[in-house]
């Protein structure tokens, strides 16, 4: 038995939800470029959960259900208030809160497809309220109650900032949500599938996935990109900062990918939005710095930007705190995690690979006195 490091190239599941073939990403056969230009996040949620696009009344029903289920138990917010708010990372707060949501769901361990679908809606609805509520509570503000008449993207920005967003903000945020919704068997989705393949519950699956997304090699990279941009500070500093990192063989966050070789098809949409939004917010240098970094990394390392690189300047332009970037990724990816969880339940088998043992040979127990 020989281990494949990082399971590279191993096909570990069948899925109808999304595919990456020759650097083209599709959700249920729809090209991500097509969906980004045309679909609302709610439509994508429906697509991922039902493997078809919704009709008008089906979309209206899902939108209504997401709006009606957006409130969270007060205990979630009370718990946030008890946290060391100066130091706790929002991803840690989110991971804990999703677990606690399961505690308050009387159907948490009810495993019928109907009950799992109801939990899917509750989770997708509430996660936006959890992330925005945490952000406000740590600033000493009260959470803003969701407005049922707003769509998912607009509601998120409304609950975060306490004022209704402009159409261009809604459009950009909706696109970002669509772009992050699913991505085949990435680390966090695989984690979710492994978890629920033991027939554990939906909340456990999503909680486990949040833990996997949090790391800087995965979803956590978007916050690290912003940290890098802030450290660089101006266009003049890009070259020396990046060159030093490359000379020290450090990784540049937001570049490289396990699957894509020529490029991540999501990055161009975020790049376009970054250019537009940074101009509008009077911070065009952020985009110019990003492009300069991009050209250096592509030029020297032949590594294309991934989804996390230009999303950083997009979220910053939407006035979002930098440590909320990864929680926002989780808000969107919850739709994909849930789709994969439901798919796993529908045709389940325990996921239990083997390990190549590389430790010592047979040994005889030695009592503690004789060691
Ligand atoms: C939503 C997402 O999860 S997208 C990915 C987000 N993560 C990041 O942006 C973090 C930075 N990128 C990386 O760490 C990697 O490219 C990963 C984790 C995304 C993919 O990793 P892997 O497929 O395991 O590639 P691995 O880390 O083995 O890298 C292969 C080679 O490319 C180099 N490399 C890969 N990414 C980078 C990078 N961002 N900057 C500099 N060098 C890099 C590695 O140093 C390694 O070089 P070597 O062969 O000389 O040692
Ligand atoms: O697929 C991956 O390995 C990581 C990624 O881009 C994502 O999860 O969106």
pLDDT at 254: 98
Nearest-CA residue for ligand 1 atom 23 is 258
The answer to whether 177 and 332 have CB atoms below 8 angstroms apart is yes
Beta bridge partners of 255: 305
Residue 258 near ligand 2, beta carbon < 6 Å: yes
**Distances from the Cα of 273 to the Cαs of 24, 56, 170, 284, 327, in angstroms?**
20, 28, 12, 12, 20
- Site of tokens 């949409």: 269
Residues whose CB falls within 8 Å of the CB of residue 65, separated by 6 or more in sequence, listed in order: 121, 125
Gyration radius from the chain CA atoms:
21
DSSP string, 242-268: HHHHHHTTPPPTTB--SS-SS--TTHH
pLDDT at 343 over 90: yes
Once rounded to an integer, what is the mean pLDDT over residues 319-337? 98
| Angle at the Cα of 84 from the Cα atoms of 83 and 89, rounded to 5 degrees | 90
| ipTM of the complex, rounded to two decimals | 0.98
Nearest ligand 1 atom to the CA of 255 is: 39
230-288 per-position pLDDT tens digit: 999 999 999 999 999 999 999 999 999 999 999 999 999 999 999 999 999 999 999 99
Alpha carbons 316 and 117: distance in angstroms, whole number: 34
The secondary structure of residue 46, as a DSSP letter, is: H
- Site of tokens 């994969």: 340
Ligand 1 test: best mutation among 209, 251, 310, 325, most atoms within 8 Å of CB? 251
Residue 6 near ligand 1, beta carbon < 6 Å: yes
**Distances from the Cα of 138 to the Cαs of 8, 72, 80, 141, 321, in angstroms?**
40, 17, 8, 7, 12
% of the chain beyond a pLDDT of 90: 99
pLDDT at 105: 98
pLDDT band at 54 (very low <50, low <70, confident <90, very high): very high
Residues with catalytic annotation? 257, 308
Nearest-CA residue for ligand 1 atom 28 is 258
Residue 181 near ligand 2, beta carbon < 6 Å: no
HSE-CB for 76 with a 13 A CA cutoff: 28
| Straight-line distance from the first to the last Cα atom of the chain, in angstroms, rounded to the nearest whole number | 32
Once rounded to an integer, what is the mean pLDDT over residues 161-185? 98
pLDDT at 1: 85
Nearest-CA residue for ligand 1 atom 24 is 258
The answer to whether 327 and 90 have CB atoms below 8 angstroms apart is yes
136-159 per-position pLDDT tens digit: 999 999 999 999 899 999 999 999
Mean per-residue pLDDT of the chain: 97
The answer to whether 289 and 232 have CB atoms below 8 angstroms apart is yes
Nearest-CA residue for ligand 1 atom 3 is 218
pLDDT at 301: 96
- Length in residues, the chain: 371
pLDDT band at 302 (very low <50, low <70, confident <90, very high): very high
Q: Where are the alpha helices (DSSP H) in 69-201?
A: 74-81, 90-104, 113-138, 152-161, 167-180, 187-196
73-86 per-position pLDDT tens digit: 999 999 999 999 99
Residue 252 near ligand 1, beta carbon < 6 Å: yes
The answer to whether 185 and 15 have CB atoms below 8 angstroms apart is yes
Strands (E), the chain: 18-21, 24-27, 30-31
Nearest ligand 2 atom to the CA of 20 is: 1
pLDDT at 127 over 90: yes
Give me the numbers of helices (H) and strands (E) for the chain, helices first please.
16, 3
**Quick one: which ligand is closest to 7's CA?**
1
């Amino acid at each position: 038995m020989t281990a494949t490091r990082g399971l590279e190239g191993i096909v570990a599941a069948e899925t109808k939800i999304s595919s990456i073939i020759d650097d083209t990403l599709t959700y249920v056969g729809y090209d991500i470029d097509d969906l980004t230009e045309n679909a609302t996040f709610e439509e994508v949620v429906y697509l991922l959960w039902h493997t078809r696009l919704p009709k008008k009344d089906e979309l209206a029903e899902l939108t209504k259900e997401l709006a009606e289920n957006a409130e969270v138990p007060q205990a979630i917010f009370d718990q946030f208030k008890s946290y060391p708010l100066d130091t706790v990372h929002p991803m840690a707060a989110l991971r804990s809160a999703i677990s606690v949501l399961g505690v308050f769901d009387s159907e948490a361990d009810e495993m019928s497809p109907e009950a799992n679908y109801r939990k899917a809606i509750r989770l997708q609805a509430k996660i936006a309220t959890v992330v925005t509520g945490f952000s406000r509570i740590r600033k000493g503000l009260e959470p803003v109650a969701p407005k049922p008449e707003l769509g998912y993207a607009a509601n998120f920005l409304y609950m975060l900032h306490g004022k209704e967003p402009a159409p261009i903000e809604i459009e950009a945020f909706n696109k970002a949500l669509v772009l992050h919704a699913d991505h085949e068997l990435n680390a966090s989705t695989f984690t979710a599938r492994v978890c629920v393949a033991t027939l554990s519950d939906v909340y456990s699956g999503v909680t486990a996935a949040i833990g996997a997304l949090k790391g800087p090699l995965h979803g956590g990279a978007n916050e690290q990109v912003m940290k890098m941009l802030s450290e660089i500070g101006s266009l003049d500093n890009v070259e020396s900062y990046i060159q030093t990192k490359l000379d020290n063989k450090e990784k540049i966050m937001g570049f490289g990918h396990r699957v894509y070789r020529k490029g991540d098809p999501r990055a161009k949409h975020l790049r376009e939005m970054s250019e537009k939004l940074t101009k509008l917010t009077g911070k065009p240098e952020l985009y110019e710095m990003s492009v300069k970094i991009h050209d250096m990394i592509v030029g020297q390392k032949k590594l294309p930007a991934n989804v996390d690189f230009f999303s950083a300047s997009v979220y910053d332009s939407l006035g979002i705190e930098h440590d909320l970037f990864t929680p926002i990724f989780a808000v969107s990816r919850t739709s994909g995690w849930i789709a994969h969880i439901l798919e796993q339940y529908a045709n389940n088998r325990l996921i239990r690979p083997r390990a190549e043992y590389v430790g010592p040979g047979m040994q005889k127990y030695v009592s503690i006195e004789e060691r």
